[in-house]
């Protein structure tokens, strides 16, 4: 009975998410459904497990969502993001349109812009470039996905995206964890996208298929003057450099070092959700400071355009409001996973998931579990948080027992979150299709192929680590 209710709950979560229902609403309902027959009273499961875990997630990560969203909106409305994208696109030109879009997406994503803001910023430039080069527009969603949501989001060490930040509070790692595996993964993602889209362009052009006739969200070439691209790129560079210096993952003597006793003065207060140690929060503190200082720089550089669009309060308020929905979405998924993990019936599932292994390593278990959860939720961040909420502590203990660094576990889970998150129910994919003015029928074939290809990356990196020990 207990096991059946857990599976029914998971299926209902996937079905309702596919139908477009907000996970903020459905996650607590189906968490309670999963608890039916567990022997626990339902309201305590909701208030003491679900809501406590949701609050724990929001407490830890909300500043990252908030500052990241405000920074992205200022970069967008100040014209800074568009200036950088325009420079990359014009420098490479229509002959290298696919490469220009890939690089442009990566630069903005790695620079700290929200992935959805990057999609809105890059789409007009990419669509115009594709039109000029007569590349079928139906290839654009797959290319934008690979440019925004893969190598620069989960692979390149130091990326300030939330998918790279989430594991830090579970494992006490930094955003720079597993640099070798991350760089190898990033190169593979990049080459897969460049190679497949280039192949499809040549094949379709040879058959006489060009850009096509499209009417939805077709961008017009703008004559509006953009800010200087060099100044515009400064806040993006600041995010990366400041995060590196403040988090100091390589323990440089000249870089910043968070005081190990920073939390001790709060101990007498006996705060329920206080971090157990500095290692659980210093990576998040570092990215918060980096985003805040970079936001100030972006606001100063883009002040003239911001004044013309209603002042600084407009992007600040828009970003702040938007960030609440984003953090609640992921917190709801995390809390749901924590409820499932706390139920007695989950013991059988847990044993099965921990049974996936290569040698004595927990890495295969982490890959399979993260894949299942991202497939169910259609979200890399949501699936990752559910997986970590269920088995994160077990994976870490297992890794420590066999001498595997938490940094390896961090990077492998990041890469695993970007495998099968592009199911048809994926909210991010649906949004991206809408931005491009295309449908699943028109563009999903290439997304499926790229999903299969990109899913191999984490297994290649796993093989590399097992063969060489490089992390």
Digit-coded pLDDT (tens) for 343-357 = 998 888 888 999 988
Distance (Å, rounded) from C-alpha 471 to C-alpha 469?
Answer: 6
pLDDT of the residue at 315: 94
Range 161-176 average pLDDT: 94
Is the model more confident about 107 or about 3? 107
Query: Residue 425's pLDDT band (boundaries 50, 70, 90)?
Result: low
Q: Over range 401-415, report the average pLDDT.
A: 97
SS3 462: helix
- Beta-carbon contacts of 434 under 8 Å, excluding residues fewer than 6 positions away, are 217
Q: What is the pLDDT of residue 316?
A: 95
Query: Cα separation of 240 and 218, whole Å?
Result: 33
Q: What is the DSSP string of 254-300?
A: TS----TTTTGGGGGG--TT--SSGGGTHHHHHHHHHHHHHHHHHHH
Which tokens in the block code for residue 4?
């059946």
- Give the pLDDT score at 185: 98
- 3-class secondary structure, 1: coil
Check whether 406 has a pLDDT greater than 90.
yes
Q: Identify which of 137, 128, 119 has the alpha carbon closest to the alpha carbon of residue 89.
A: 128
- What's the whole-number mean pLDDT along residues 184-203? 97
**What's the confidence (pLDDT) of residue 147?**
97
- Nearest residue to 219 (alpha-carbon basis) of 126, 139, 144, 140: 126
DSSP string, 84-144: HHHHHHHHH-GGGHHHHHHHHHHHHHHTT--HHHHHHHHHHHHHHHHHHHT--GGGHHHHH
pLDDT at 223: 65
Q: What is the pLDDT of residues 209-228, one digit of tens each?
A: 999 998 888 988 776 788 99
**b/e code 96-114 from CB counts within 10 Å (16+ = b):** bbbbbbbbbbbbbbbbbbb
Distance CA 281, CA 169 (A): 6
pLDDT of residue 248: 93
**For residue 377, pLDDT beyond 80:** no
């Amino acid at each position: 009975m207990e096991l059946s209710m857990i599976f029914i709950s998971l299926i209902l979560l996937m079905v309702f998410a596919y139908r477009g229902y907000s996970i903020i609403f459905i996650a607590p309902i189906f968490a309670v459904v999963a608890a039916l027959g567990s022997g626990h009273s339902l309201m305590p499961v909701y208030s003491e497990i679900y809501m406590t875990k949701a609050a724990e997630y929001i407490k830890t990560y909300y500043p990252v969502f908030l500052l990241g969203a405000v920074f992205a909106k200022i970069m967008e409305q100040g014209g800074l993001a568009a200036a950088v994208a325009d420079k990359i696109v014009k420098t490479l030109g229509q002959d290298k349109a696919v490469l220009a879009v890939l690089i442009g997406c990566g630069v903005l994503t790695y620079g700290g812009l929200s992935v959805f803001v990057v999609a809105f910023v890059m789409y007009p430039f990419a669509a115009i470039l594709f039109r000029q080069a007569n590349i079928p527009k139906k290839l654009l969603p797959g290319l934008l996905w690979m440019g925004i949501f893969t190598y620069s989001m989960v692979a390149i060490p130091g990326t300030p995206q939330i998918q790279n930040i989430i594991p830090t509070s579970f494992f006490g790692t930094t955003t720079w964890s597993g640099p070798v595996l991350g760089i190898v993964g990033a190169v593979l993602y990049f080459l897969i996208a460049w190679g497949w889209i280039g192949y499809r362009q040549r094949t379709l052009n040879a058959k006489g298929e060009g850009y096509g006739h499209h009417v939805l969200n077709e961008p017009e070439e703008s004559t509006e003057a953009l800010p200087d691209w060099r100044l515009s790129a400064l806040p993006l560079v600041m995010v990366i450099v400041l995060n590196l210096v403040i988090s100091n993952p390589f323990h440089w003597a000249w870089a910043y070092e968070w005081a190990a006793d920073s939390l001790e003065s709060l101990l007498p207060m006996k705060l329920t959700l206080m971090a157990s140690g500095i290692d659980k929060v210093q990576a998040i503190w570092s990215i918060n400071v980096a985003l805040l200082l970079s936001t100030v720089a972006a606001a100063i550089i883009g002040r003239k355009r911001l004044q013309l669009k209603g002042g600084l309060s407009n992007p600040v308020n828009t970003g702040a409001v938007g960030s609440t929905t984003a953090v609640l979405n992921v917190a709801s998924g995390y809390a749901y996973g924590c409820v499932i993990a706390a139920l007695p019936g989950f013991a059988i599932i847990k044993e099965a998931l921990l049974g996936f292994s290569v040698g004595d390593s927990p890495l295969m278990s982490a890959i399979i579990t993260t894949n299942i959860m991202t497939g169910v939720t259609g979200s890399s961040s949501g699936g990752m948080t559910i997986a970590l909420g269920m088995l994160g502590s077990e994976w870490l203990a297992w890794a420590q027992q066999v001498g595997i660094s938490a940094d390896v576990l961090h990077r492998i889970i990041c890469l695993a979150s970007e495998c099968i998150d592009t199911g048809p129910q994926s909210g991010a994919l649906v949004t991206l299709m809408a931005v491009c003015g295309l449908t699943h029928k028109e563009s999903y074939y290439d997304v499926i192929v790229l999903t299969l290809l990109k899913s191999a990356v984490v297994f290649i990196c796993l093989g590399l680590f097992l063969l060489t020990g490089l992390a």
